[in-house]
Structure 1
Amino acid sequence: MPGMTNTDFDFLAGSWDSRQRRLTKVLVGSDEWYEFDATLDCQVLLDGNGVFDVLRAPERDIEGLTLRLFSPDEKIWRIWWASRASGGRLDEPVVGRFTDGVGVFECDDTWEGTPIRVRYRWSFVDTPHPRWEQAFSTDGGRTWEVNWEATFTRRGR
């Protein structure tokens, strides 16, 4: 319905510093992580039904953007990621919603030729330090390997 306001991602509007943590090697049973700092600048648009952000981590040469679009009819979000490393190609969108303050978004994709299930999870969105994680599953979602985590702190307050 036109004019309907969505507030799911309002918490993310503005400028953030974040601590990022990534697995060194994905889907090989590794438990070796590396950490780095990043910034995130986010705009909430289209009455809350569109959210756009840019993530920058110069020390790791990472620059990427996220586009989130909410479908009021389906009551779901589609979230696309694109990075400099992907040559500006949008990844498959993860799809999902928030339930009880936790957002879970999933899709099927491939990682280095292996079919995977991808999951993004937003939690602690009502705190000063929202948290995001990415996980992959090679068994249809029965088990997950978290491979990227980020904790955010609002900048300029």
Structure 2
Amino acid sequence: MMSENDESKLRQFDFWLGEWDLTWGDNGRGTNLITAVLDNRVIQEQFDGTPSTPLQGLSVSTYNTQLGKWQQTWVDNSGSYLDFVGEFADGKMVLSREAMLEGKPILQRMVWYNITEQALDWNWERSEDGGQTWQIMWQIRYQRKVE
């Protein structure tokens, strides 16, 4: 049996649900379709970077009640497999992971912020100093698709 607190945490990613037009950089464009599946316990992402980049990817995210954190798995057409863990706090969803870059340990994270009903911002960030400082590697602006 889930607690009421767990139930509310299961809804923390609902802001991301829907169809989105994405923009980045000078003229980057793409789309993202975010749906709730498996009894609304899993958030599924279908990212399409075309025409600006050939990158296409899928993610699944779920709130792990035993861990008390969100977990996400990302796969894409470049062969990437990434796994993240994090939480929603102070109006931001932050999911992070440890990785290796040229033989050195780094941290990577995604941050969803400036969240409104119609728009939000997303950053892909990297830290080479254990999380003391972060460098933005990719910043995407989400705008909800108009029906």
Q: Separation in 2 of the partners of 1:128 and 1:112?
A: 39
1:12 and 2:24 are equivalent in the alignment:
no
User: Aligned letter for 1:14?
Assistant: G
How far does residue 130 in structure 1 lie from its aligned partner after superposition?
Answer: 1.1
Supply the distance in 1 between the matched residues of 2:112 and 2:40 (Cα, whole angstroms).
17
TM-score where L is the length of structure 2: 0.85
Aligned to 1:152: 142
Preserved CA contact (<8 Å) 1:66 1:79: yes
CA root-mean-square deviation: 2.0
In the alignment, does 2:43 pair up with 1:43? no
Compute the displacement of 1:156 (Å): 2.9
Give the 3-state SS of the residue equivalent to 2:81 in structure 1.
coil
Does the 8 A contact of 1:9 with 1:44 survive in 2? no
Cα deviation, residue 48, structure 1: 4.1
Contact 1:70-1:76 within 8 A present in 2 as well: yes
Matched, 1:67 2:60: yes
Aligned pair count? 142
The alpha carbon displacement at 1:53 in A equals 0.8
Separation in structure 2 between the aligned mates of residue 67 and residue 74 of structure 1, nearest angstrom = 17
Instruction: State the TM-score, normalizing by the size of structure 1.
Output: 0.80
Tell me the amino acid that sits aligned with residue 129 of structure 1: A
**1:104 equivalenced with 2:94 (yes/no):** yes
Shift of 1:83: 1.0
Q: 2: distance between equivalents of 1:127 and 1:14?
A: 10
For 2:35 and 2:103, how far apart are their aligned partners in 1?
34
Runs of 4+ aligned residues of structure 1 deviating over 6 Å after TM superposition are none
Instruction: Tell me how far 1:147 sits from its aligned partner.
Output: 0.2
Where do 1:108-119 residues align within 5 Å? 108-119=98-109
What secondary structure does 2:78 align onto? helix
Is this contact kept in 2: 1:17–1:152, CA < 8 A? yes
